[in-house]
A = this chain, B = another copy of it.
Amino acid sequence: MEFTFSDRCKDMRPSAIRELFKVIPAEGAITFSAGNPSPLSFPVEEFAEIAADIFKNEATAALQYSVTEGYPKLIEQIRKRLKERFYVGADYDETIITTGAQQAIELTAKALCNEGDVVICENPSFIGSLNAFRSYNLKLVGVDMEDDGISVEKLEKALKENPNAKIIYLIPTFQNPTGITMPLKKRKAVLELAQKYNVFILEDDPYVELRFTGVPEPEIKSLDTDGHVIYCSSFSKILSPGMRLGYLCAHKEIINKVTVLKQVSDSHTNIFSQMLASRFMERYDLDAHIKKIKDLYRSRCSLMLYCINQCFPDCVKHTIPEGGMFIWATLPEGYDSRIIARKALEHKIAIVSGSTFMADQNQISNAFRMNFSTPSDEDIVEGIKRLGDMLKEELVK
């Protein structure tokens, strides 16, 4: 028979990163292309203890159907941490557990946007979210990044030009892919624009706990006074991504709709994992655990920056992140980083071309993303050296 698909997914491409991800490890390349946390960040022994305890004492609760909103104790723990640590969560807000922040983003789009509506995003931005918006036939309008995040001027221009904009999607802290963090002044300006043009901000904040240097900036959600900001984050970068555990904190009217949509999407998030995370926060020191991850990433990021300074040609610029997992390198104008990424692969180095992250998938980018959370020190030294040699050769040609 002939297969015809819905309009919304006719043109969807598989995420370039995940496709790479399937190929690379088998070839034995040095991988700077992943978006993974370090396996050293997984609290394996603690999880083993908790799992044994759950199966001994609370097996039925961990294996039976549960409520869509999430494990009540975990919701309370998240609510408390968001409030006390980040001043996130007003009286009008509620929190729902999602199957990764990915689901929080997908369901927010489904709840708020009709086909053809506009989502404004940083350009570049996280491809998983961009593809979620694309999967509802939403129009992506990318706004250029400056050294300290999205251009406020160009954002206002985009808002003026797109009266059917529904969401401004932002990763204000240690952005994926650039590693850039938006300063307070800009956060305030962006929120004011959202209020002025009556558009939601979807603040995606998965890296916030991974600040290894510098002073924290307030979450945009903490500045919210009337429900314009929808906030999501996840346990992927501080406990385990394989668990698929994220959450959404937003005005209760939005959470009500998202709850109904989550019900039809997967009924509820894996309950054993929710209990695992909850018990971990109850019985162990999450902050001490996060400190270990930050120490590791600080060291790896420093090493990568040091090697870049030693090995890359001067004409290649790069960001200096204060946290998160990524460094963004920019070649001189006119270069196509897809060609550079392919070339790198010939030298058995995997990086991700900037065009992967563009709102317009056909836009050529002269930048690429490097991840420092997964490669070992040895791989960072060797990989950046090889990449530098290759770049010198390519950029001189």
Contact = CB atoms under 8 A, between A and B. Distances in A.
Contacts of A236: 65
Interface string A51-72: 1100110011111111110000
Interface string A30-56: 000001110100101101100110011
Interface stretch (A106-114, A334-342, A356-364): A106-114
A115 interface: yes
A79 interface: no
Nearest to A246: B266
B56 A128 contact: no
A63 B100 contact: no
A112 B5 contact: yes
A99 interface: yes
Given A3-B253, A5-B257, A244 B270 contact: yes
Given A6-B113, A260-B9, A240 B63 contact: yes
Contacts of A257: 5, 9, 12
Contact of A64 (B8, B9, B39): B39
A4 to B, nearest CB: 8
Contact of A267 (B42, B244, B251, B266): B244
B244 A268 contact: yes
Given A111-B5, A114-B7, A128-B264, A18 B63 contact: no
Interface in A165-214: 195, 198
Contact of A3 (B5, B18, B241, B251): B251
Interface string A266-278: 1111111100000
Contacts of A131: 260, 263-264
Contacts of A134: 264
A283 interface: no
A233 interface: no
Contacts of A228: 1
Contacts of A42: 59-60, 63-64
A313 interface: no
A132 B241 contact: no
Contact of A270 (B35, B60, B62, B243): B243
Contacts of A132: 264-265
Contacts of A22: 67
Contacts of A260: 9, 12-14, 131, 135
A12 B271 contact: no
A265 to B, nearest CB: 5
A102 interface: yes
Given A131-B263, A132-B265, 9 more contacts: A1-B227, A4-B112, A8-B110, A9-B261, A13-B260, A63-B241, A99-B266, A241-B267, A243-B272
20 contacts: A3-B254, A5-B111, A6-B111, A14-B260, A18-B67, A36-B65, A39-B63, A42-B60, A44-B63, A48-B52, A48-B59, A62-B242, A63-B243, A64-B241, A65-B241, A99-B265, A128-B264, A134-B264, A135-B260, A242-B272
Q: Which 8 A-B pairs have the closest CB atoms?
A: A48-B55, A63-B240, A242-B271, A132-B264, A99-B266, A44-B59, A270-B270, A39-B60
